[in-house]
Amino acid sequence: MSKEFEPTVITIFGVSGDLAGRKVLPALYHLLKDGLLPEKIKIVGTSRKDLSKDQLLKNVELCVLETDKVCDPVVLSKFNKIFEIIKLDPVNEKDYIQLKNYFEILENKENVCFNRLFYLSIPPQIYSPVIRILGESGLSKKCHHGFGKSRILVEKPFGYDLSSAKTLIKKTSKYFKEEQIFRIDHYLAKETAQNILVFRGHNPIFRDIWNNNSISRIHIKALESIGIEGRANFYDSVGALRDIVQSHLLQLMAITTMDIPEDINSSDLIHQQKSRILSKTELSKINRGSVIRGQYKTYRKEIGKPKSNTETYVRLMLNIKTKQWMNVPIILETGKALVNKNTAIVIDFSNYNDQQINELTIRIQPDEGIDIKLFVKKPGFDNVIETAIMDFSYQNTFDHHYHPDAYERVIIDAIKGDQSLFSSNSEVVRSWQILQPILNRWKKDNNLILYENGSNGP
Ligand code: BG6
């Protein structure tokens, strides 16, 4: 166990939900196995249902991050010792008494304050009441033994549109300061996404050509082969624009195009630059057909709503109104039930009239790496030109290197209090501002195109 961290209790609201089971609990198990959690650590899951630990863990692939996917009995027994479940309805104030009692008993026994991390793995619609109850009940503050820090971790989307995001920010700030709020964007915690700033800042050959003199187009895509995987209620109320574009894709766009801060380890400087570039970003135009909106053909049947108009695919174009990026189209694209999983940033190096494009691809997943297409002469007597790919792959380069899962990174950073990889409130607001014209338009004209499952989308 790591001695450098203060005692911490992580409370996961919605522990029996999809996200906790698929991502959060496996990440915690893996961190425990690798001795990376604080020496004094407790994990409390809250659930509306009457659920025992055994029942919950039976339905969770706790060891999915292990190479052989098998749990180690010693680690599993340790996990059982630090893990508790409390029955609690997150919108019922009275139920929080049990959580309060749990903290008190724990802190009295250990004679120390624990830092409290509240992980809201619950539908965004109930963030607001939960945050209020946490604030008003004093759960986020008091400890008899001195001072423990409290932080909340929230999943995206933060808000449902521009106005609800602003309201939520206002309500949250009543109880939590900005440095206590960790708005998760697990894409930023992916190893390849973190590499973007290093790649841009530490390779002089790219540093000076990262602008519209050399770059003619940027395409950022998060394409998935899976559908909505049993998350019908959540997904149908959200759709692809809110689920992926407002958060993951705009964040990837920001780190791809922002100025590199003098210190890339400074969370404040990173947020400043991200906010700056987002404030200069606009939809290129908004009319019928400029934003492609699709739904895979079996979606309505899958969720049992024959009239659902929720999009599972979206493709749009942005421009950044700065000297550096003027006239460079930025395409954002995401979709479900497509032919392949492919999350990548593709940057075209060429002049406007060039037929030949050096395509630089930052492969976020799968097969993490970076490649560039070059033109080379084919061996032989004639001058035949072909493309060849120069490829850096994580797997081949860092053979046995430890490669933390994005959620492991999210949890460790929140324990440490490092906000570099989380979205700030101004980034959230600006992202909604960029997309709000689309949401407005879709209210009047949803323009949904159905596409075949397993295809390339509409
Ligand atoms: C989540 C979205 O944030 O990211 C999901 O809510 C999506 O709809 C998931 O499937 C994709 O994450 P990853 O890490 O598998 O690309």
Q: How far does residue 407's CA lie from ligand 1's centre (Å)?
A: 12
pLDDT for the residue 58:
87
- Asked if 150 and 179 touch (Cβ cutoff 8 Å), the reply is no
Counting from 1 in the atom list of ligand 1, the atom nearest the Cα of 238 is: 6
Distance (Å, whole) CA 394 – CA 400: 10
Q: What angle do CA 233, 239, 245 make, to 5 degrees?
A: 140
- What CATH number does the domain containing 226 carry? 3.30.360.10
Considering 139, 155, 171, which residue would you say is the last residue of a domain?
A: 155
Q: Is 10 exposed, middle or buried (0-12, 13-18, 19+ CB in 10 A)?
A: buried
Ligand 1, atom 9: closest residue by C-alpha: 244
- As a whole number of Å, the CA-based R_g of the chain is 23
Residue 97 has pLDDT above 80, yes or no: yes
What pLDDT does residue 426 have?
95
Task: Answer whether residue 1 shows pLDDT above 60.
Answer: no
Q: How confident is the model at residue 363 (pLDDT cuts 50, 70, 90)?
A: very high
Q: Are residues 236 and 356 in the same domain?
A: yes
Q: Which tops the pLDDT comparison, 90 or 125? A: 90
Contact between 343 and 221 under an 8 Å Cβ cutoff? The reply is: yes
User: Ligand 1: distance of its center to the CA of 324 in Å?
Assistant: 31
Which residue, of 106, 140, 155, is where some domain finishes? 155
Determine, yes or no, domain membership for 176. Answer: no
Residue 184 lies in a domain: no
146 and 29 together in one domain: yes
The answer to whether residues 150 and 265 belong to one domain is: no
Ligand 1: atom nearest CA of 156 is 3
Options 30, 186, 219, 248, the catalytic residue: 248
Do residues 90 and 219 both lie within one domain? no
Q: If pLDDT is split at 50, 70 and 90, which confidence band does 355 have?
A: confident
Question: Tell me, what's the pLDDT at 159?
Answer: 92
Band of the pLDDT at 121, cuts 50, 70, 90?
very high
Assess whether 116 and 58 both reside in one domain. Answer: yes
Q: In whole angstroms, how far apart are CA 187 and each of 204, 255, 317, 323, 438?
A: 26, 11, 20, 28, 23
Measured CA to CA, the distance from residue 334 to residue 356 in angstroms comes to: 26
Q: How confident is the model at residue 425 (pLDDT cuts 50, 70, 90)?
A: very high
* Alpha-carbon separation of residue 100 from 43, 113, 138, 398 (angstroms): 14, 13, 9, 45
Closest CA to 456 of 292, 325, 327, 337: 337
Closest-lying ligand 1 atom to the alpha carbon of residue 231: 8
| Six token digits for residue 275 | 């906010």
User: Which of 19, 65, 183, 243, when mutated, tests ligand 1's pocket best, judged by the most ligand atoms within 8 Å of its CB?
Assistant: 243
Round to whole Å and give the CA distance between 335 and 415: 33
Residue 409: C-alpha distances to residues 19, 186, 264, 413 (Å): 16, 9, 17, 6
CA torsion angle 177 180 185 186 (round to 10): 180
Give Cα 148 distance to the centre of its chain.
27
Q: Which atom of ligand 1 is nearest to the CA of 243?
A: 6
Q: Residues 218, 349: contact at Cβ < 8 Å?
A: no
The DSSP secondary-structure symbol of 95 reads G
Q: Ligand 1 test: best mutation among 224, 231, 235, most atoms within 8 Å of CB?
A: 224
Whether residue 314 has pLDDT greater than 90: yes
Give the closest residue (by CA) to ligand 1 atom 13. 187
The answer to whether 39 and 1 are in contact (CB under 8 A) is yes
Question: Is residue 267 included in any domain, yes or no?
Answer: yes
326 lies in some domain: yes
Residue 401 CA to residue 399 CA, distance in Å, equals: 6
pLDDT in tens, 145-154: 677 789 999 9
Q: Which residues line ligand 1 (CB under 6 A)?
A: 224, 243, 343
**136 and 207 housed in the same domain:** no
**pLDDT reported for residue 100:** 92
Does 417 reside within a domain? yes
pLDDT of residue 276: 97
**Could you give the 3-state DSSP secondary structure of residue 293?**
strand
Q: Are residues 356 and 444 in the same domain?
A: yes
In the reported structure, the alpha carbon of residue 240 is separated from the centroid of ligand 1 by a whole-number distance in angstroms of 10
| pLDDT attached to residue 60 | 87
184: its two tokens = 């998760």
pLDDT greater than 70 at residue 402: no
Residues 328 and 230 placed together within one structural domain of the fold: yes
**Which residue owns the Cα nearest ligand 1 atom 4?**
244
Q: Which of 115, 125, 37 is nearest to 79 (CA)?
A: 37
* Best of 64, 244, 249, 410 for a ligand 1 pocket test (most atoms within 8 Å of beta carbon): 244
Give the other-Cβ count within 10 Å of 74's Cβ.
9
Q: What share of the chain is helix, strand, coil (3-state, %, to 5)?
A: 40, 25, 40
User: Domain check: are 195 and 87 in the same one?
Assistant: no
Mean pLDDT (the chain) is 92
Q: How far apart are CA 231 and CA 225, in angstroms?
A: 15
The predicted structure's pLDDT at residue 286: 66
Quick check: is 212 in a domain?
yes
* Domain termination site, one of 155, 179, 209: 155
* Number of the ligand 1 atom closest to the C-alpha atom of 365: 16
Task: Determine the distance separating the centroid of ligand 1 and the alpha carbon of 93, expressed in angstroms.
Answer: 31
Q: How remote is the CA of residue 161 from the centroid of ligand 1, in Å?
A: 19
Determine which residue's CA is closest to atom 15 belonging to ligand 1. Answer: 224
Instruction: Take atom 14 of ligand 1 and give the residue whose Cα is closest.
Output: 187
Domain identity same for 235 and 326: yes
What is the DSSP annotation of 208-229?
A: TT-STTTEEEEEEEEE-SS--T
Nearest residue to 160 via CA among 247, 39, 281: 247
Q: Which atom of ligand 1 is nearest to the CA of 234?
A: 6
End-to-end CA distance of the chain: 49
Residue pair 277/210 in contact by the 8 Å Cβ criterion: no
Averaged pLDDT for residues 189-198 = 90
Pocket test for ligand 1, best of 19, 23, 121, 186 (most atoms within 8 A of CB): 186
Find the range with the poorest average confidence among 80-84, 137-141, 259-263.
137-141
Domain count within the chain: 2
Q: How much is the pLDDT for 124?
A: 86
- The tokens for 228 are 């909505």
Which residues sit opposite 412 in a β-bridge?
none
User: Which of 236-245, 319-328, 398-407 has the weakest average pLDDT?
Assistant: 398-407
- Residue with the larger pLDDT of the pair 87 and 355: 87
> Which tokens hold the place of 93?
């104030």
Structural domain including 446 reads 191-451
Residue 394 pLDDT: 86
Specify the ligand 1 atom closest to the Cα of 364. 16
DSSP one-letter code for 245: I
The answer to whether the CB of 27 falls within 8 A of the CB of 408 is yes
The H or E element that residue 346 is part of is: strand 342-349
Q: Is 371 helix (H, G, I), strand (E, B) or coil?
A: strand
pLDDT at 334 over 60: yes
* Judgement on whether residues 398 and 315 belong to the same structural domain of the protein: yes
Beta bridge partners of 338: 455
CATH number at residue 99: 3.40.50.720
Whole-angstrom distance, CA of residue 10 vs CA of residue 415: 9
Say which residues have a Cβ less than 8 Å from residue 111's Cβ, sequence separation at least 6. Answer: 145
- The answer to the question of residue 401 being in a domain is yes
Residue 248 catalytic? yes
Residue 224 Cα, ligand 1 centroid: separation in angstroms? 9
The pLDDT tens digits for 214-271 are 999 999 999 999 999 888 888 999 999 999 999 999 999 999 999 999 998 899 999 9
In this predicted structure, what is the pLDDT of residue 258? 97
2 pLDDT band, cuts 50/70/90, is: low
Look up residue 51 and give its DSSP letter: -
Q: By alpha-carbon position, which residue is closest to atom 6 of ligand 1?
A: 243
Q: In what order do the strands lie in the sheet with 83-87?
A: 83-87, 41-47, 8-13, 115-120, 150-154, 181-184, 422-423
CA gap 38, 117 in Å, rounded? 13
Ligand 1 center from residue 58 Cα (angstroms):
23
- 165 domain-assigned: no
Does residue 142 register a pLDDT over 70? Answer: no
Q: Are residues 198 and 144 in the same domain?
A: no
pLDDT value of residue 356 = 87
